[in-house]
Amino acid sequence: MTNISDIMNSVKKTMEAEELAGVKELIIDREKMTKNKPTKKNITLPELKEKVSACRRCSLAETNTNYVFGDGNPKADLMFIGEAPGREEDKQGLPFVGRAGKLLTMIIEAIGLKREDVFIGNILKCRPPDNRNPLPDEIAMCSPYLIKQVELIKPKVIFALGKFAAQTLLNTETPISKLRGKFYDYQGIKLMPTYHPAYLLRNPGAKKDVWIDMQVVAKELGLKVPRHKKQP
């Protein structure tokens, strides 16, 4: 049942997302509405990072050690989006630096790129306790930051790692096994869903699928995959 606090929370969320998207004023004058387009505030990526590091929008801010904004080339053609920081990422304040991250680095290098060439981010900027799955409310609170990051970086291709990244960005509940391997449109950007590297550590047999997906992405970006490279 919807109560007043649900409604207030929803209004607050919408206003915060709009503020992040650059809508400066709430226009309530009907005449003005047609004349005054919302003004876009040109927030920069470093400013957005500052904003994230002061975020108190959900309870994960009370348990995190560091915010993990994301890292890499701010003008990257290729952006990787994962789920949420784990223990090592929380400790270092950097994305994908644990075991799954090492595998991700191998995948990136297998197509002839370096981590510094791409941008790596996550749906959540804070670690969920005990690495539990992100909660719907946490995703709702945090995803405006990611949406703005994508808008500022303007990658040509997004590689969405795992179900939380793919389902959130594509607004679907279709399982990742069905989504993977095809390009989808995300705000005019090609988005390729694939399995999460942590899943690959538990299911090495799925690495070949990710390698197939990665090669499709490399081709789209006009990258020449080094011949000697085998599936990571």
The site for ligand URA (CB under 6 A) is made up of: 82-86, 89, 95-96, 98, 100-101, 122, 198
Q: Residue 87 corresponds to which tokens in the numbers above?
A: 């223990």
Beta-ladder partners of 160: 81, 193
Task: In whole angstroms, give the CA distance from residue 165 to residue 146.
Answer: 10
Q: Whose Cβ is closer to ligand URA: residue 134's or residue 144's?
A: 134
Least distance (Å) from ligand URA to the CB of residue 148?
Answer: 18
Task: In whole angstroms, give the CA distance from residue 109 to residue 230.
Answer: 11
Q: Whose Cβ is closer to ligand URA: residue 100's or residue 189's?
A: 100
Q: Which residues, other chains included, contact 42 with Cβ-Cβ below 8 Å and sequence gap of 6+?
A: 22
2 by Cβ neighbours in 10 Å (0-12 / 13-18 / 19+) ranks as: exposed
Least distance (Å) from ligand URA to the CB of residue 201?
Answer: 10
Least distance (Å) from ligand URA to the CB of residue 7?
Answer: 32
Q: Whose Cβ is closer to ligand URA: residue 9's or residue 65's?
A: 65
Least distance (Å) from ligand URA to the CB of residue 86?
Answer: 4
Least distance (Å) from ligand URA to the CB of residue 162?
Answer: 7
Q: Whose Cβ is closer to ligand URA: residue 198's or residue 217's?
A: 198
Say whether 184 sits in a helix, a strand or coil.
strand
Closest CA relative to residue 194, chosen from 141, 152, 232, 224: 232
> Are 112 and 226 contacting, i.e. CB atoms less than 8 angstroms apart?
yes
Q: Whose Cβ is closer to ligand URA: residue 85's or residue 232's?
A: 85
Residue nearest to ligand URA (CB): 82
Closest CA relative to residue 135, chosen from 20, 55, 56, 58: 58
